[in-house]
Structures are given as structure tokens and as C-alpha cells.
Amino acid sequence: MKKQRLISIILCVVLAIVFTGCGKEIATNNKAKTIADASSKAGKSIDYMALVNKTHALPDDWEENLETTHFTNSVGDDVEVEKKAYDAYLKLKADLEKEKIYVDLDSACRSVEDQERIMESFTKDFGADYAKKTVAKPGYSEHHTGLALDLYLIVDGKDIVENDEMIKYTDIWEKIHSKLADYGFILRYLDGKEHITGYGYEPWHIRYIDDTKVAKLINDKGLTFEGYLKTAIDKPVKIDLGKSEQLTKEDLNDSVVQIKCQFAAWDGFELKSITYAGDEASNDEAQANKLNPDGKYTQIALFKMNFRTSKNVDGTGLEANKDYKDYEWWLGKTIKDGWGVITPSLK
Ligand SMILES: [Zn+2]
């Protein structure tokens, strides 16, 4: 994993300059000035949904508010992780061990200094051009946040740390990925989404977002973090939720997020509006019998949306490049998973 590891480290560089706190050297040389110390003084919480990628820099006050936990991994490297992310990671790890899957952390939080060092070493070994291309700009690495974790595998007692080697264990990764959302993690760099995330597939790079519900949604719909944030939060969609006696505000908002995320999973669809069809329409007995014959859903609700499809409508049952108006979707709520779209099916 050395080469990619270096690259990631580089990304992290930005943070470290002033306070440090994440890096190995920092931890060793300057224990009195760790990020954790600074953060407990500041007492402000970090934004677990913060987006840091090649175009979004680490927020300015991040380091002073970041609290980290330090530990030594199985190969003897010092690793620094954001506190809550570390606790969640330990739970994930324990859960995996029940299935005889063993993981450890290669790296998590990386300081600016580390990143600068990597840049220097790459420049020296491979030239400035290559270094610039391969090494992330300080401040623009998710590893600066302390919320991005690189796992490695321990198979038959052997540490598997090289990327080329690790990537071969597809079955193991599949099992690991299926459990991430339960502990508030998402897989960050999905296969085939490099044009969105800026990175190729990295089964080992996971990100803590401190929200199991959203993590599950992102995971189930195969969304990128960028896609989720853009669609579920930023995208201007006209929303009319009207009034409801039977659905709480939270029910309605959750439903809207579900609908938006369903659209986010469809490349190029343009969602224009979402309207709650009302309590009366949602109480349609014939529909309830059809959609919910065994009472799996504790509630169902009808929404209508206006949208335009793209040229890729595979598996949606819709026509390409067409405007749809008042298109009806039923959503259902289950005790375990909350709200989800019942119709249409995604695949
Ligand atoms: Zn990583």
C-alpha cells in the first residue's frame, strides 16, 4: 500500500501546518500540542458531513476542533483517528471478527507535514511533474479530517497492506462493505465513479459520517458522498409537503430525502418538484392492500413529482428524455429501516 498511502498522506498535508496533531511525527515530537488538546479547549464540534475532496478544502477551523485518538496498529505504525470515528471503527472491527474477518487501520488522519514530506519524497524520486500529478494538494485530502480510514486486511495471520494485493480479496471486502452503514461509515471511492469522486476504486478507504440512517441510504442506493450531498441537500427542488395529520415533519422530510436519493442514483435525471399527495390520497385502501398485503409497512404515503428523464432509463420503466408530471410514487415506512420508496423499483 506504500505508494497510494503516500499519495493519501500528501492530501492530508494542509491541516498539519499550524497545529499538526494527526501525524506520526507530530504525535511523537510535540505531544503537548495535539489537535485533541486544542479541540477540547475549543469545545466546538466538527461537521461530520463535511465534504473534503479535490475541489473542496478542509474547513479553516477544523484542526482546532478535532479530537483524535491515537493507537499503534499491528505492523507497529502510529495511527491517529477522530475520536467518534475510532469508537465506531472498533465496533465495526468487533462485528467483523465474529465472521472471522480481521482488519486493522493503515492510516487515518494525516497531517500537512506528512503530506509535504510525501510531496518532497515524490519530487525527489520521480520528478516534480509526477509528484504534482500523483500527490494531492495539501488541504484537499479527506484524510485531513481524521474521519477517513484506510483499512488493511489480516488474512491467515498475515498483514495484507499492499493495495495490489488487498484488492484481490473481493469476497472479504464485500462483507466489510455490507456492515459499514451499521456503524456510520460509507465506502468513499466507488468503482466506476472516478468522474465524481476524483479517485479510482479504493475498497479500503472508508469515511465516518456519524449517521447510520444516511450511511445506509448512501450504501443501499450506491451513491457517492458527493452525489448524496448535492442531491439530498444542495439541489434546488421545489418541495410542497402541505399539511398532514398522520405524518410528522420528520416523516415527510425523510421521505423527501429518499426520493431525492433515488433520483441521484439515476444518471442525468432532472428532478423538479416533490409534492405530498395528502393524507386522503395516502389512505387509499385498495392501494394499501396491493402495496402492503402483509403489513410490512407501518405507514404508506403517496408523493407526486415532476421530473425529466435522461437518455439512460435502463430498468426504470420510463421513457428516455421525457418530461413527467405528477408522477406518483408510494413510499413505505418499516420499523427497521424507516422510509423507503416502494415504487418504482430501481433495477
Ligand atoms: Zn485513504
pLDDT for the residue 299: 93
Q: What phi-psi label fits residue 117: left (phi over 0), alpha (psi between -120 and 50 degrees) or beta? A: alpha
Measured CA to CA, the distance from residue 346 to residue 341 in angstroms comes to 9
Cell, residue 225 = 458522498
User: How far does the centroid of ligand 1 lie from the alpha carbon of residue 57, in Å?
Assistant: 16
Q: What stretches of the chain adopt beta strand conformation (E)?
A: 68-72, 78-82, 102-107, 148-155, 158-160, 185-187, 205-208, 238-240, 270-276, 299-308, 323-334, 338-341
User: How far does the centroid of ligand 1 lie from the alpha carbon of residue 237, in Å?
Assistant: 33
User: How far does the centroid of ligand 1 lie from the alpha carbon of residue 39, in Å?
Assistant: 23
pLDDT at 94 over 70: yes
User: How far does the centroid of ligand 1 lie from the alpha carbon of residue 187, in Å?
Assistant: 10
Q: Is-above-0.85 flag for pTM?
A: no
User: How far does the centroid of ligand 1 lie from the alpha carbon of residue 150, in Å?
Assistant: 5
- Domains, the chain, in order of start with CATH, read 2-211 (3.30.1380.10), 235-341 (no CATH)
Where is pLDDT greater, at 116 or 322? 322
pLDDT for the residue 206: 97
Q: What residues contact residue 322 under an 8 Å CB cut-off, 6+ apart?
A: 308, 309
User: How far does the centroid of ligand 1 lie from the alpha carbon of residue 108, in Å?
Assistant: 7
Are the beta carbons of 82 and 15 closer than 8 angstroms?
no
Residues 144, 221, 215, 282, Cα dihedral to 10°: 140
User: How far does the centroid of ligand 1 lie from the alpha carbon of residue 148, in Å?
Assistant: 6
User: How far does the centroid of ligand 1 lie from the alpha carbon of residue 306, in Å?
Assistant: 39
Segment 45-87, tens digit of pLDDT: 899 999 999 899 999 889 889 999 999 999 999 999 999 999 9
Place of cell 433515488: 262
Helix 112-126 with 2-19: angle, nearest 10 deg: 130
pLDDT for the residue 25: 27
pLDDT for the residue 134: 66
